Amino acid sequence: MRIIPAIDIIEGRCVRLEQGDYARKKLYDADPVALAEKLEQQGFRYLHLVDLDGAKAGRPVNLKILEQIASRTGLLIDFGGGVKNTEALEQVFDAGAQQVTAGSIAVKKPETVTRWLERFGPEKIILGADVKEGKVFINGWKTETDWELFPFLEFYLQKGIQTVVCTDIARDGLLQGSAVALYREIIKTFPSLKLIASGGVNSAGDLAALQKARLDGAIVGKALLENKITMDQIKDYVG
């Protein structure tokens, strides 16, 4: 299982939100580019970069930061936030991202995401499934959709999706532990899926439980920024 550090950006600064609420944000005294360089020096190979300004604006806003991280590190970057059309997707790839997470657009415009899978390949497009009480949410977790999680995953598996980032909204940013039981159920139902956990990871024990559940990866944000998880604890997952 791979550890994927997360950097969330608002107005050029690193932040963490609680349950996706912009009013409950915590700013960190860390430059995103410098932090990415430090993560690479620590041995990380992957980065989950979230443009929260872009998510709110409906278009990528922090492309320059993406470009700087891509040019100054060798991190494999998955970008999310504001990618609502093919032009924006191409801008993100041109700026240096290796993968893009399709979240709200996967609900609103499945035909667009299907074309992306056909054109760019499933290794470039990750499905973002943000879930609360079994329902898929979009628009920064503000809007409940008609999709239940499992039919949503089944639909996109049939379209060619291979990798899914599944966020348990109720846990995100709260350091209350990961939704291991949910992830076990997903993997049992869809054993071919490359599942990445997101939300709530707060200890090395969480990571061990996720690895035992056979997840492909785990996104870790606040726990790394606040040293709840140390490099000594996770060195076996890094690299």
Q: Which of 51, 130, 206, 216 is catalytic?
A: 130
Helices (H), the chain: 32-41, 52-57, 63-72, 86-94, 104-108, 110-120, 149-159, 180-189, 204-212, 222-225, 231-234
Residue 31 appears among annotated catalytic residues:
no
Residues shown for the chain: 239
| Residues 96, 69 contacting (CB under 8 angstroms) | yes
Q: Which of 8, 78, 168, 216 is catalytic?
A: 8
CB proximity list for 193: less than 8 A, separation 6 or greater:
153, 157, 162, 163, 164, 186, 187
- Identify the CA nearest to 81 among candidates 63, 59, 113: 59
Residue 239: Cβ-neighbour burial (10 angstroms; 0-12, 13-18, 19+): exposed
Both tokens of 99, joined, read: 């993968």
DSSP-derived letter for residue 21 is E
Query: Distance between terminal CA atoms of the chain?
Result: 10
Q: How far is CA 122 from the centre of its chain?
A: 16
Give catalytic residue positions: 8, 130
